[in-house]
Amino acid sequence: MAKLTQTALKRIAGLEAFPQPEYLKTRYPVVLMHGFGLLAFLARGGHLHEEAMHLRLHGIAAFAPNVSPYHIIPQRAATWKNRIDVILAQTGAEKVNLIAHSMGGLDARYLISKLDMAERVASLHTISTPHRGSSLAQMALKQPEKLRELVRNAANWVGENVMEMEADFHAAVESLTPRAVTNQFNRDVPDAEGVYYASWAGSAGKGSLNSINPVFRPLNSWLYGREGVNDGIVSVTSATWGDFRGEIEADHLQQVGVDVLAGSSFSSKDFVTMLARDLAERGF
């Protein structure tokens, strides 16, 4: 009984030698890049803000800027470049490490290769980025005109009035179709020498053992019949690029810390911490 009491007291009042978060140190700052802005205006600080703050607790110089959530890749990439220039000036760093989710990965590839940022970027990790487009974008463009107009106007209104950023929802969706990405983007935007490219893919719902947001289930099943295992938005096949590191057991929203009724054990904060640890070990 005395031993049990002592053990209980240690759990309640005992002091660990190092109770603070693990200290990690990357050579370059980490910039988290969000994707297409669906529901972005509901996230406090924007998508990936909480993940950036979590990395700072681990000693990482991490940033999660916001750009227009409903615009085409060249426009978003130009804004990302401006954001990164500010980060480089603030930190005095020569380069940055980019961790990009979804469309953010295409923005990153574009700014590296087309906006003369290859010498300022050490690495790019993409998470569920549609490197070969998504059939869902093509499906969205085939919906009735009245529905497309309603969604387009609503998204543009949110982008321009709530987030106070330029928006072009329709053109953004067009740029994410398999034809646009595979036949044009990938041809015009080659990988740059000297930059480490790595990718992760999301796996959830049909064809996997992982939970998925109920909202994604119809899309997940439809996309599975055309591209195979996916996260509700992007297939594993499309997300594969450069050094493919593996599949994440999470749907597209769980990957950025939003878990609605799915009950996933995936932690976006733990995941980006793992990526930061890997960057440190690789000398980035």
**Cross-strand partners of 43:** none
Return the pLDDT at 53. Answer: 97
| Bridging pattern class, strands 121-127 and 96-101 | parallel
pLDDT score of 159: 56
Q: What is the pLDDT of residue 222?
A: 96
Q: Sheet harboring 243-248: ordered strands across?
A: 62-63, 30-33, 96-101, 121-127, 196-202, 243-248
pLDDT at 87: 98
Q: Residue 170: phi, psi to the nearest 5?
A: -60, -45
Environment class of residue 186 by beta-carbon count within 10 Å: exposed (0-12), middle (13-18) or buried (19+)?
Answer: middle
pTM: 0.89
Q: How confident is the chain (284 residues) per 10-residue block, as mean pLDDT? A: 59 73 94 80 74 97 92 94 98 98 97 98 98 89 64 58 64 89 97 98 95 91 96 97 97 87 83 97 96
* Residue 113, pLDDT score: 98
Q: What pLDDT is stored for residue 46 in this prediction?
A: 79
Cβ atoms of 138 and 230 closer than 8 Å: no
pLDDT of residue 83: 97
Residue 177 backbone dihedrals phi, psi, to 5 degrees: -70, 155
Distance CA 132, CA 202 (A): 15
- HSE at residue 197, side-chain half, CA atoms within 13 A, is 19
Q: Could you tell me the two tokens for 38? A: 């669906």
Q: Quote the pLDDT of residue 140.
A: 75
Instruction: Tell me which DSSP letter residue 95 carries.
Output: -
Confidence at residue 172, expressed as pLDDT on a 0 to 100 scale: 82
Q: Which CATH class is domain 22-131+190-281?
A: alpha beta
> What residue ranges do the domains of the chain occupy?
22-131+190-281
Using DSSP, state whether 245 is helix, strand or coil.
Answer: strand
Identify the sign of the CA torsion 70, 36, 43, 39: positive
Q: What is the model's pLDDT at position 47?
A: 82
